[in-house]
């Protein structure tokens, strides 16, 4: 079934077209939900709620941009709304985790370790995990994240910085990446960051 036929069918509430849409996009969107959720069951619940919104709002899609991008935005916003109902995002974790550790490109693990990295991201505190997902993975700006989560833009930035530091700690502890070597200045003293 072509995308146009599928969309027209969904707009007419055709069950076959809706099933095609769901089967085509749900596996990737479950991955999006999984990054925000505490468990697979929570992710599946988020996905269900998102697809209910997608199917009831499909008439609003105007064929401007990729359908998958439109669906992804609804999924992300649904996840955020569910999380907002359950938790405040300004909560933070002990400041000890906010060390000035910088994650460098060469430290990013290979594709084979991607599942382990996702599990490590999922183990972060809710605010950290959410901001990290929205900024680093979904590509939202800190201003957009602040608006979505009803927090200050500076809170989004600090949550992201702390999330990167905590994630690096977890990745090093689980031996997924090696601990970065400290930079030294010309006198041999350790320099920050």
Architecture (CATH level 2) of domain 3-86: Orthogonal Bundle (1.10)
User: What confidence score (pLDDT) does residue 96 get?
Assistant: 36
Q: Where in the chain is the domain with CATH 1.10.1740.10?
A: 3-86
User: Phi-psi bin for 139: left (phi > 0), alpha (psi -120 to 50), beta?
Assistant: left
| Residues 105-145 pLDDT 10s | 444 445 446 677 778 888 888 888 889 989 988 889 999 99
How many separate helices (H) and strands (E) can be counted in the chain? Answer: 8, 0
d(CA 41, CA 190): 46
Q: Where in the chain is the domain with CATH 1.10.10.10?
A: 95-173
Rounded to an integer, the average pLDDT of 75-100 is 63
Cβ contacts of 16-24, under 8 Å, gap ≥ 24: 18/55, 21/54, 21/55, 21/58, 22/51
- Domain covering 95-173 assigned CATH 1.10.10.10 in the classification: yes
Question: Is the pTM for the entire model greater than 0.85?
Answer: no
- DSSP state, residue 96: G
């Amino acid at each position: 079934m072509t995308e146009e036929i599928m969309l027209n069918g969904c707009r007419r509430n055709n069950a076959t077209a809706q099933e095609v849409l769901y089967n085509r996009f749900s596996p990737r969107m479950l991955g999006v939900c999984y990054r925000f959720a505490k468990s697979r069951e929570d992710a599946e619940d988020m996905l269900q709620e998102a697809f209910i919104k997608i199917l009831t709002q499909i008439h609003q899609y105007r064929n401007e941009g990729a359908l998958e991008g439109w669906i992804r935005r609804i999924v992300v916003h649904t996840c955020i709304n569910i999380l907002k109902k359950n938790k405040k995002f300004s909560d933070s974790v002990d400041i000890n985790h906010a060390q000035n550790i910088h994650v460098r490109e060469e430290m990013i693990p290979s594709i084979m370790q991607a599942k382990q990295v996702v599990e490590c991201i999922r183990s972060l505190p809710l605010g950290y995990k959410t901001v990290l997902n929205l900024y680093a993975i979904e590509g939202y700006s800190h201003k957009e994240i602040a608006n979505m989560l009803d927090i200050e833009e500076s809170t989004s930035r600090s949550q992201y910085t702390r999330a990167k530091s905590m994630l690096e700690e977890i990745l090093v502890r689980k031996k997924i990446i090696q601990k970065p070597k400290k930079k030294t200045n010309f006198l041999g003293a350790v320099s920050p960051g």
